[in-house]
Amino acid sequence: MRQGKYWESRSEIMEKLIITAAVTGGEYVSKTTTPYVPSTVDEIVKEVVASVEAGASVVHLHAKNPETGEAYSGDPNPVLREYIECIREEVDVVINVTTGGGRVGNPPEVWDRLVEARCSLGQEMMSLNMGTMNRWAEHPTGDIFLNTVKMIERWCGYMTEHGVKPEHEVYDTGMINVCKRISAKGIVPEPLHVQFVMVGSTGFLPTPRMLQYCVDLLPSEWTWSVCALGRHEIPMAAVAMTMGGHVRVGFEDNVYLRRGVLAKSNAELVSKVANIARELERGIASPDEAREMLQLRKR
């Protein structure tokens, strides 16, 4: 066996791994889900710094109620602006904010204005759900997540005008077609960055076979990442990084470090995937390396 000759580590054949930490939790996560969810500005900044030290190059943020850790119920934009400014003072990291939030009690025209205004808070990326879907858990805005193709196209246009890169959140195969339609219309610069959100019940099953099917549908120059919920988070991250994709972990998708044990911080989840990457000899991207791979405009 001439193993020495044929043995290549993943760092020789794959790009470095971009780890996103979704530190705040979205609308499904509050202090009743886990007491460790960061909720005040200080807690969120500390959590971001620790996640970056553990290997994250991107952080994904939602606006939080500082007392309860629930989703912030008013206009999230000033809250997100404060997070971004305070994070920038402490650490270099790519900042990705959600297009969600601010919907409860407001009609779609108001969501539209909130998203447009949110494009200029100083972040580099924004997540965008690429379709309307059934929610996988109880939610204050009802059973359906509403993002029509027209809304998506308009919001991608706002992001492009402001030099913010969309992270296209894809929950089922039809949403890959929506990404391709936006690409064909030239609404966002190439290459697109897609995140497969493997929620199980109402969308993709979190399985290697499903992921392989999806990746095969993407143009080869697009970049992609995976987030899977709950106990599937770490195993699917391991699959994704083995296949050459990128990963997202954090309280938004999973609050457990292992069965029955709550993670005490997002950084513990980041460390777990960073350790797997090291064992696989896949390099871990710094924020600047992530910016280069994702072709982001530095803020």
* Closest distance to ligand KMH from the beta carbon of 251 (Å): 11
Closest CA to 183 of 202, 170, 172: 170
What is the spatial distance between Cα 221 and Cα 239, in angstroms, rounded to a whole number?
Answer: 20
Residue 169 interacts, among Zn ion, ligand KMH, none and using kind-specific CB cut-offs from 5 to 8 Å, with ligand KMH
Of the candidate spans 91-99, 128-136, 171-179, 203-211, the one that interacts with Zn ion by CB under 5 A turns out to be 91-99
What is the spatial distance between Cα 177 and Cα 269, in angstroms, rounded to a whole number?
Answer: 32
Would you count residue 24 as binding Zn ion (CB under 5 A)?
no
DSSP H/E element including 165? strand 165-170
- 93 to 122: interface string for ligand KMH, x by CB under 6 A: -----xxx----------------------
Q: How far lies 221's CA from each of 62, 192, 252, 281, in Å?
A: 29, 8, 28, 23
Q: Using CB under 6 A, pick the residue from 58, 95, 197, 277 that binds ligand KMH.
A: 197
Q: Using CB under 5 A, pick the residue from 98, 195, 223, 225 that binds Zn ion.
A: 98
Closest CA to 273 of 249, 291, 290: 249
Measured from the CB atom, the residue of 26 and 55 that comes closer to ligand KMH is 26
Q: How far lies 233's CA from each of 15, 49, 238, 251, 270, in Å?
A: 21, 21, 9, 10, 11
Q: Using CB under 6 A, pick the residue from 14, 17, 20, 26 that binds ligand KMH.
A: 26
Would you count residue 26 as binding Zn ion (CB under 5 A)?
yes
Residue 129 interacts, among ligand KMH, Zn ion, none and using kind-specific CB cut-offs from 5 to 8 Å, with ligand KMH
Question: Which residue ranges make up the site for ligand KMH (CB under 6 A)?
Answer: 26, 60, 98-100, 127, 129, 169, 197, 252-253
